[in-house]
Amino acid sequence: MKPKVLLINASPRDNGWSQKLLLAANYGVLDAKGEPEIVHLYKYVIKPCMGCVSSNPKDCRFPCLIEDDDFNKLGEKIVNSQGLIISTPLYWYMVSGQLKNLIDRLTSMENMIHHIGRSLLDGKVAGFLAAGNDSGSITAISYLMVTFNSMGVHIPPWALAYHNSKADILNNKEAILSAYNVGYNVVKTAKKVSSMIKWYKTDIKIEKIVREIENVCNKRKQITIPTRIYPLLKKLEDKN
C-alpha cells in the first residue's frame, strides 16, 4: 500500500516560496512511491484553540468540540495520512499564525491518549520546510520538530529544508534538493514504521519505578557523600 502523505502549504500565497519548496518535496514523495495530497492551509477556517484541556483533559478530544470551522474536516485528512510535510513562511522568526492555530488544535488528537490510550498522531512521519528572506528558519523548524515529536510523530533523517534569502528560491539548488529528500524520506520511513501504531506505553507501574529510583539514589548518596566531604573534614581537623 502506498503511504498517504499530506503536504500542507501554511502560507497565504499559493505560489510563494513555501509552495515551491513543497512542490520539490512532492517530487520526492512520488519517487518514493507515496500518494501525495497538497492542501493550502489558508483556504481552511481554523479558529484558535479554546484551551479545553486546561479545564478538564476529558473535554479535549477529536473531533474537536469547536464545530463551526474547518479543523475537523482537515483533521480527518491528517488522521487518514501516514505522513505529513509542512511548509511555512517565516513570520517574525516563527511559523505563520494559521499554522500555529492548526498546531494548537492538534492537541485534540494528541489528547486522545486519555480516551483511547494513544495519540491519533502516534506513529505518523513528518518533515518540515521553511522559507523567508530573514533569519528564523531553524528556530521555526526546531519548534515544529519538538512539537510534533511530542505528539507522537516520527522525525526521519534529512527531514528539513529551508531558504532564508531575498534571492529566488528556485536558484537555491541545495534547498530544492533538501526539500526533495524530505518528501522521499518521509515516505520511506512511513513504510518502515507503518506496522506499529502505538509508541507510547501508559500501562506501566510508575510508582514502582519511582521507588526503585529513590532507593538507588539513596544508596548512592550513602556511598558518595562521605567520600566527597572527607577531604574537607580532614583539612578542618589539621587546622585545629
Judgement on whether residues 189 and 239 belong to the same structural domain of the protein: no
* Band of pLDDT at residue 218, cut at 50, 70 and 90: confident
Phi then psi for residue 14, to 5 deg, are -70, -25
Domain that holds residue 224: 204-240
Judge whether 57 lies within some domain.
yes
- Who's near 139: CB < 8 A, 6+ residues apart? 93, 94
- Kindly state the percentage of the chain with pLDDT values over 90: 76
Cell reading at 141? 523548524
Judgement on whether residues 162 and 218 belong to the same structural domain of the protein: no
Q: What global pTM score does this model have?
A: 0.86
pLDDT at position 169 over 70: yes
Per-residue pLDDT, 198: 80
- Who's near 51: CB < 8 A, 6+ residues apart? none
* Band of pLDDT at residue 72, cut at 50, 70 and 90: very high
Query: How many domains does the chain divide into?
Result: 2
> What strand order describes the sheet that includes 125-132?
35-40, 4-9, 83-89, 125-132, 160-164
